[in-house]
């Protein structure tokens, strides 16, 4: 099998006959199809070391820059198909997503309003907006907010509720819709096949001085912690998640894109519906925030989600 995996710098190779455990493979990933070998999205390197194998997919870490990613991975068409009912996973619906994200959204709204310096009606694009809960919140605060999401079922609900949401990907988003004063990406970047391309697109969509707010999970430290106990087998959630970022790696991606003054902080945790994950999120969120505050921002607890705020330079 691995003999099919030819790693050649600058060339993406298609991989065949990869074995997938049918019992654990997510729906609609076609195990028989060719998988795509990709190089490091940040530095272009292809020297990696294995981190884990989850749901039959290998997760590797770039030896040069530290980016963690799924490799090889299902081709783009299959990845897009995964999002047909993404927001309905585990019986979730609009109200459960709103509740899950409520503290994250509230904090982001306050942050964007307080850091806005220009006058006039501000424009916001929420990338991967799902049902559009954040768009509603920002409209209530006087922003001209809109969103884009590749999940038809979520966009249908958002549109029915009068939210300005476009069905599609950031990649296909029309540049002439910009510029925006702020772009938000809550738990989105880890899903995208080309996060550097996505950040470049966002950079182009922003006004000079515009703000980007990114929130991503950080799974690798938890996997390292749990692996010796035989736990954490699906924590990376591949192939929904294709990447895992340390704060340093994400900041480097932003710097290379042209963003400046990137600041990473723990931020408010999500509120999962199930009690165990909810208590864990609240506990580790509080520890992360406390540690960050007690060390005046110098310590970020590994393994919990974090937000990063970055600015496009004025010129
Ligand atoms: Zn790299």
Q: How far is the CA of 219 from the centre of ligand 1 (A)?
A: 18
Å from CA of 311 to ligand 1 middle? 23
172 by Cβ neighbours in 10 Å (0-12 / 13-18 / 19+) ranks as exposed
CA 48–ligand 1 middle distance (angstroms): 8
* Antiparallel, parallel or unpaired: β 180-186 and 14-15: unpaired
Spacing, Cα 230 to ligand 1 middle (Å): 28
Phi and psi for 58 in degrees, rounded to 5? -80, 135
- Write a three-state SS string for 144-186: EEEEEECCHHHHHHHHHCCCCEEECCCCCCCHHHCCEEEEEEE
C-alpha 157/C-alpha 163 separation (Å) is: 9
User: Ligand 1: distance of its center to the CA of 265 in Å?
Assistant: 23
Pairing of strands 243-244, 165-167: unpaired
Tokens 């029309």, residue located? 174
> What integer pLDDT is reported at residue 69 of this predicted model?
98
Whole-angstrom Cα distance, residue 108 to residue 138?
A: 9
| Tens place of pLDDT per residue across the chain (315 aa) | 333 332 322 222 222 333 333 333 444 444 545 899 999 999 999 999 999 999 999 999 999 999 999 999 999 888 888 888 788 776 678 888 888 899 999 999 999 999 876 777 899 999 999 999 999 999 999 999 999 999 999 999 999 999 999 999 999 999 999 999 999 999 999 999 999 999 999 999 999 999 999 999 999 998 888 888 888 788 899 999 999 999 999 999 999 999 998 899 999 888 888 888 888 888 888 989 999 999 998 889 888 899 999 999 998
In angstroms, what is the span from residue 46 Cα to ligand 1's centroid?
7
pTM of the model: 0.86
Q: Which residue has the tokens 């990869």?
A: 18
- Going from the Cα of 66 to the center of ligand 1, the distance in angstroms, rounded, reads 6
């Amino acid at each position: 099998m691995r003999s099919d995996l030819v790693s050649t710098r600058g060339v993406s190779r298609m991989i065949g006959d990869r074995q997938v455990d049918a019992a654990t493979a997510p729906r609609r990933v076609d195990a028989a199809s060719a998988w795509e070998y990709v190089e490091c999205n940040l530095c272009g390197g292809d020297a990696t070391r294995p981190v884990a194998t989850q749901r039959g997919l290998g997760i590797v870490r770039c030896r040069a820059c530290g980016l963690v990613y799924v490799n090889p991975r299902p081709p783009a068409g299959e990845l897009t198909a995964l999002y047909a009912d993404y927001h309905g996973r585990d019986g979730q619906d609009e109200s459960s997503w709103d509740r899950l994200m409520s503290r994250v959204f509230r904090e982001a709204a306050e942050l964007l309003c307080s850091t806005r310096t220009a006058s006039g009606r501000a424009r916001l694009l929420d990338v991967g907006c799902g049902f559009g809960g954040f768009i509603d919140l920002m409209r209530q605060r006087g922003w001209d907010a809109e969103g884009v999401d590749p999940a038809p079922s979520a966009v249908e609900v958002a549109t029915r509720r009068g939210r300005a949401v476009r069905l599609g990907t950031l990649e296909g988003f029309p540049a002439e819709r910009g510029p925006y004063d702020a772009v938000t990406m809550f738990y989105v970047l880890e899903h995208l096949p080309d996060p550097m391309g996505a950040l470049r697109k966002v950079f182009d969509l922003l006004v000079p001085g515009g703000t980007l707010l990114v929130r991503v999970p950080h799974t690798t430290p938890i996997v390292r912690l749990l692996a010796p106990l035989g736990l954490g087998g699906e924590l990376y959630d591949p192939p929904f998640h294709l990447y895992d970022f340390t704060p340093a790696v994400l900041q480097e991606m932003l710097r290379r894109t042209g963003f400046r003054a990137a600041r990473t902080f723990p931020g408010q945790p999500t509120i999962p519906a199930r009690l165990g994950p909810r208590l864990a999120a609240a506990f580790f969120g509080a520890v992360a925030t406390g540690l960050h505050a007690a060390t005046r921002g110098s310590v970020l607890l590994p393994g919990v989600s974090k937000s990063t705020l970055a600015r496009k330079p004025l010129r």
